[in-house]
Structure 1
Amino acid sequence: MTLLTKKIDKQSLLYRMGFLTRRWRQMLDSAFQSLGLTDAAWRPLLHLHHLGDGIKQKDLAASLGIEGPSLTRILDQLIAKGFIERVEDASDRRAKLLTLSPQGRAMVTEITGKVSALEHDLLSAFDDTEIEQMSYFVERLEKRLQETRSRLKG
């Protein structure tokens, strides 16, 4: 019985999805080594790009799922490399907002180009209907996860 014909139970499915996510991140890490970026470096750049310039460090930390002090060290390195800039928040002079520098934007362009090529390679075996079905499933699973987390917190 192959992996494609083997019956998968619910517990195994979530485990395999987690494993797939880890392997995808490993693939990205390998691809970005040629750019001189580690996992700790490329993820904040992409998250800042998707969240938009002018966000607070705590918001970027929440998006990445890491603690503020850990992010501070990473940001200091990215600032030293010229990828990110800290600017003063006009509404709160004590707060600093994060923006991508021109060099950071250029790096994000390279990163997203590599991601697009890898995604195309991986997903080219699936037709549009299958991609829509997977996207719908993941969206429903994300919503269910959020509902379950909210219920467990309150």
Structure 2
Amino acid sequence: MSQIPTSPRSRFGIRFSLLARRWRRSIDARLAAAGLTDASWVPLIHLQETGGGISQKELAALVGVDGSSLVRVLDFLCREGLVERRHDEHDGRARLIHLTELGTQRVAQIREQLVAAEQELLLDISDQELANILTSFEKIERRLLAPTPEADA
């Protein structure tokens, strides 16, 4: 019979994956009550954070989906009046995605709901503990984004 891992390093990956899924489900449930799916609110947040005016390819990479999936989401967001596609001034063939005024207002509502959810979920964690967690996340993210020998081959 195998033993259940007890060291923090051997437990981290599974615990982190499960926590991330639970966190996302909790946030998604709150935003679904406002009529937003994760497929629609996540691109809006990324557009605001980048200042808008990014390509579909760049946005797809930020959101973590393939381009064809993002096209359907962007079509929906355009119909809702939340984003618009504009011609790129530097490349007439390309189109860039921008938030509309309504989209900017919607992002403000989303952020209010995210802040409320995060305050509730992080209630028992001090600012210092949270800062330490974020520092650790940044280290992990740097490692994940670092070039690998396989990618160079």
| Residue equivalent to 1:141 | 140
1:152 aligned to 126, 131, 150, which one? 150
d(CA) in 2 for partners of 1:32 and 1:12? 30
Residue 42 of structure 1 deviates from its aligned partner by 0.7
1:1-154 equivalences under 5 Å are: 7-147=6-146, 150-154=148-152
Structure 1 length as normaliser, TM-score?
Answer: 0.89
5+ long unaligned stretches in structure 1: 1-5
Structure 2 length as normaliser, TM-score?
Answer: 0.89
Paired residue secondary structure (1:98): strand
Q: Deviations over 1:16-67 (max 9, x none)?
A: 1111111111111111112211111111111111111111111001111111
Structure 1 runs (4+) deviating above 4 angstroms are none
| Residue equivalent to 1:3 | none
d(CA) in 1 for partners of 2:12 and 2:88? 44
Residue 12 of structure 1 deviates from its aligned partner by 2.3
**Sequence identity percentage:** 37
Q: Deviations over 1:116-144 (max 9, x none)?
A: 11111122211122112111111111122
Residue 13 of structure 1 deviates from its aligned partner by 0.9
Paired residue secondary structure (2:92): strand
5+ long unaligned stretches in structure 2: none
Paired residue secondary structure (1:126): coil
Paired residue secondary structure (2:94): strand
Paired residue secondary structure (1:138): helix
d(CA) in 1 for partners of 2:150 and 2:143? 12
d(CA) in 2 for partners of 1:122 and 1:151? 39
Instruction: Report how many aligned residue pairs link the two structures.
Output: 148
